Structure 1
Amino acid sequence: MSDHTYQLIAIGIYFTGMLGIGYFAYRRTSDLDDYMLAGRGLPPGVAALSAGASDMSGWLLMGLPGAIYASGLFEAWIAIGLTIGAWLNWKFVAPRLRAYTEVSENAITIPSYFEKRLKDRSHLLRICASLIVLVFFTFYVSSGMVAAGKFFQSSFGWTYLGGLLLVSAITLVYTMFGGFLGATLTDVAQGVLMFLALLAVPIVAIFRVGDIGTIGSRITDVNPEALNLFKGIGDGNPLLWGLAVFSTAAWGLGYFGQPHIIIRFMALRSAADAKAGRRIGISWMALTCLGAIGTALIGIGYFADDPEKPLGDPETVFLVLSQIFFHPLIAGLVLAAVLAAIMSTMSSQLVVCSSALVEDLYNIVGREPDPRRDVMLGRTGVLIIAVVALLLALNPNSSILELVAFAWAGFGGAFGPIVLLSLYWRKLTATGALAGMITGAVVVFVWGNIAVLSDQMYEIVPGFVLNLVVAVVVSSMTARPQPQVEAEFTAMEQLLSTGSFGTDETTRTTA
């Protein structure tokens, strides 16, 4: 058999596994709470791996290795910033959000949490948050479809449309029928596959290329600055260098507002599970980032010293090394890891979009619950968003990385400060949250589209800061006594410390 045949067999096995998991989840989904949050029953390991896999997408296996291969270790600052941001998110957001969404009328989506936490009877906050989710995530899902089409086009010579339709169809099926549980369980399998691939490639490469000292010498021979994490600090103004590093590492700020990540916190079995989830999730993230960085650095020495084995596209360094060092069947599983990164992110975003359509827009007027109808509407929502995203993805020249960066900044700037303030500040008001959210989204949009600004500072920074300032100022101006908010805030803190709501009836009225 040819190498491509072996690789397609491996990818076929992977696709079959994903569909099987989707069917398993389908058999265990009976109402909207199951469909959107898996009944709040995720063990910490499942939540951690699912959050990591849905977070990283193809950036971890292609974008990060490609950037380091092209420019050296300095590009690792983005991975450092993301790892720090993820740790802070698990530490300071996960336990409180899990407790508060249960206390505050059992909110199962981020927009509904904002409304119920702040007692916004106008529904403006929930509608605005839902529209932000739909706009950013529809384009985010579309970028994943574009990446899938280009993957099959470059790896197997398929047409762009053929690869796009295949991956989109399989992701749609297991997400539409399996819901949040299907997306989460497939994320776990995909996270394990990504972990094994990112560790296997650099480890095998070290043994095949030589010892670490020899590899290091070959890397610095090719690029003397390749191993310099602080490249450029002495070449000019240290302040400008520091701003450049901060702007790159500021990706970590985005974690506090990413709905497809923090919804995993809401689905934990209990707030106490956040500690174990943090340890598992950050360990996974640190090791996979190190694997991606190691692969890129080894690639610098392996490819650049021999003109007979050039690397045309830096972002393919991980894929090409795997095909060189492994049997075609194993290389096919490594290729499947790239698809896993793409599909895990798409599935999580589709579920969040579906929840925004059904729970936060359709059901906003307080319709009577109907489990079968609500689940069917949820599946219809997934289908609608997927079709719209597919239409946007039909253009193979669509931008991927810029769109992902913009969407990440949009969520971080619009939602991040509001999530933090809602969890730690009793005096946040619905008016303040709405003003801050709109300010953050607008600033990100404007800043990100002015080259002279975005080239100097990633748009998430001004969006996040101005959102925070506006939300605090407006809330301070519009604050008034709200006994129910005070009671729920106290109940949330009590649930964190004791694991129960206590005996005071005022702390349990909405739980």
Structure 2
Amino acid sequence: MKSDMIWTLVAFAFYLAGMLLIGVAYMKKTKSSEDFFLGGRGLNGWVAALSAQASDMSGWMLMGLPGAVYAFGTGQIWIAVGLLIGTILNWAIVSGRLRRYTIRANNSMTLPKYLENRFEDKHKIMLLVSSVAIVIFFLVYTASALSAGGKLFNSIFGIDYKICLTIGAVVILGYTFMGGFMAVCVTDFVQGLLMLAGVVTIPIIAFFLVGAGNVMDNITASGVEAHHYLNIFNDEKGQTLSAIDIISKLGWALGYFGMPHILVRFMAISSEKEVKKSKVIGCVWCAISLCFACFIAIVGRAYLVPALANNKSENVFIEMIQKVFNSDIGLPFVGGIFLCGILAAIMSTADSQLLVTASSVSEDIYHSCIAPKAESKKVLLVSRITVLAVAVVAYIIALDPNSSIMGLVSNAWAGLGASFGPIILMSLYWRRTNLAGAAAGVASGALSVIIWDYIPLAGGQTLGDKTGLYSLVVGFAVSLILIIIVSLCTKKPSEEMLKAFDDVKNGVNCGCDEKA
């Protein structure tokens, strides 16, 4: 084995061991299902912010997004613009009010439980519909993260993809299984810092190695026309992007309002003061990370000549790190640490998705519907078993080495965003929303995405392929419209439900240390 490879392997071993030690440390502190799922609502501002953003961005930020920009030009940057808008709006209008409402709604620990309590659902309709949607779409989302991990190890060490996939899955499963929410959040905090360091440092070093005066010529030498490639209104062929293309990319913003693994961080923040701190930290982290993720692709196009094949474009960041630290600078251990930043991005999302899916099955289905009298320790055991089961299924989905990270994330993001985004917003801001409207919104959002993306209704093509319009935009609109129509056509919310809404709006009886 080459010395460069040995140093990289040492860096990975230290990093993975550290993540497992955090899981062991928090296993001793995890004694109830509330500890396992919300960490006792004890997150401080820094941990909440970086944990939320790290779990949000995942391996697609350092592999999928740079890969798309690298292969298809800076017209793909509109996705990053949409994501930044969504992040800012989510922290600004959802985080504080959702935290208050989940406390007011009988101290809800999961998103489905919040919807059940918020709408006084005695028949557990919302619980079951929401839990099913989470399990379906999070299996795909978790598979995307595991796939990214497999590709990372395969690219660096040349080991068989399936073996690499197994290594990554075992480590992620290990600390999530042991430590629950706090282990996930603390590891995500560490991983968020590591991701930020890598995404900023590497493209800057590579840029200076290329030389500012050589960037345009090198991009052209890589096989694309530099001026077309760098025009955010063009596709990779120099054609002007259509309005539908730009709307679809900006539409990624809508997904944020419905991402359970992000929303659960808002629910777990310790106080209103910490929420305000988290908003600033989270938005600044996101802005810097997304800008530099796109910068990675542009610099990579100039730095990596000859260019990577399109089917290898998602490895652009990996290739840059290895060339910078192994070939140009000669610090392979440092390069290994930065490669761990990509692994951090992958792990920080996969662990959160495992935890949220487990909570939907164990807390929302098992504890609420099957065994409501089960002791907390038994629910905790079921939670850990569920984490294991979900990881196995996601692992099976991820076994195909040709699956696209960006494609898997896109489908899952659309499904979750359309299912939960509209009802989260309406539950927080529209007093008239009722149970019937909520159920119609979640079900129609999920079904719209499935129909749009997976059923060939247009001459053998799906509607998504035929129109080019992102399914999230369609599903979100359908869900929002049905929530309004069905709510207005059915019984008004009860006086107790209206009082709870007003309490949250006014900062009364909802765990506030100050008014909203």
- 1:38-437 to 2 correspondences below 5 Å: 38-210=39-211, 212-216=212-216, 218-219=218-219, 222-231=225-234, 241-304=242-305, 309-312=306-309, 313-326=312-325, 327-365=331-369, 367-368=372-373, 370-437=375-442
**SS of 1:296 mapped into structure 2:** helix
Deviations 1:412-431 (A, max 9, x none): 11111000000001111111
CA distance in 1, matches of 2:493, 2:142: 42
CA distance in 2, matches of 1:241, 1:497: 49
CA distance in 1, matches of 2:315, 2:398: 22
Work out whether residues 358 and 386 of structure 2, in 8 Å CA contact, stay in contact via their aligned partners in 1.
yes
Amino acid at match of 1:227: L
Q: CA deviation at 1:224?
A: 1.8
Work out whether residues 445 and 478 of structure 2, in 8 Å CA contact, stay in contact via their aligned partners in 1.
yes
CA distance in 2, matches of 1:479, 1:129: 21
Q: CA deviation at 1:402?
A: 2.1
Work out whether residues 153 and 164 of structure 2, in 8 Å CA contact, stay in contact via their aligned partners in 1.
yes
Q: 1:454 aligns with which of 439, 445, 464?
A: 464
Q: 1:279 to 1:500 in 2, by over 3 A?
A: closer
**SS of 1:255 mapped into structure 2:** helix
Amino acid at match of 1:476: L
Work out whether residues 271 and 496 of structure 1, in 8 Å CA contact, stay in contact via their aligned partners in 2.
no
Work out whether residues 38 and 180 of structure 1, in 8 Å CA contact, stay in contact via their aligned partners in 2.
yes
Q: CA deviation at 1:226?
A: 2.3
**SS of 2:476 mapped into structure 1:** helix
CA distance in 1, matches of 2:489, 2:510: 34
Q: 1:130 to 1:294 in 2, by over 3 A?
A: same
Work out whether residues 96 and 496 of structure 1, in 8 Å CA contact, stay in contact via their aligned partners in 2.
no
Question: Where does residue 478 of structure 2 map in the other structure?
Answer: 466
CA distance in 2, matches of 1:292, 1:435: 37
Amino acid at match of 1:315: E
Deviations 1:421-458 (A, max 9, x none): 00001111111111121111111111112445313200
Q: 1:496 to 1:286 in 2, by over 3 A?
A: farther
Question: Where does residue 328 of structure 2 map in the other structure?
Answer: none
CA distance in 1, matches of 2:445, 2:415: 8
Deviations 1:374-432 (A, max 9, x none): 22221111112112222333343445432221111001111110000000011111111
Question: Where does residue 505 of structure 1 map in the other structure?
Answer: none
Work out whether residues 131 and 360 of structure 2, in 8 Å CA contact, stay in contact via their aligned partners in 1.
yes
Q: TM-score, normalised by structure 1?
A: 0.92
Amino acid at match of 1:180: F
Question: Where does residue 485 of structure 1 map in the other structure?
Answer: 497
Work out whether residues 95 and 272 of structure 1, in 8 Å CA contact, stay in contact via their aligned partners in 2.
no
Work out whether residues 50 and 191 of structure 1, in 8 Å CA contact, stay in contact via their aligned partners in 2.
yes
Q: 1:103 to 1:442 in 2, by over 3 A?
A: same
CA distance in 2, matches of 1:473, 1:23: 50
Q: Number of paired residues?
A: 494
Q: 2:448 aligns with which of 435, 443, 454?
A: 443
Q: 1:481 to 1:124 in 2, by over 3 A?
A: closer
Q: CA deviation at 1:487?
A: 1.5
Q: CA deviation at 1:337?
A: 1.3
Q: CA deviation at 1:472?
A: 0.6
Q: TM-score, normalised by structure 2?
A: 0.91
Amino acid at match of 1:316: N
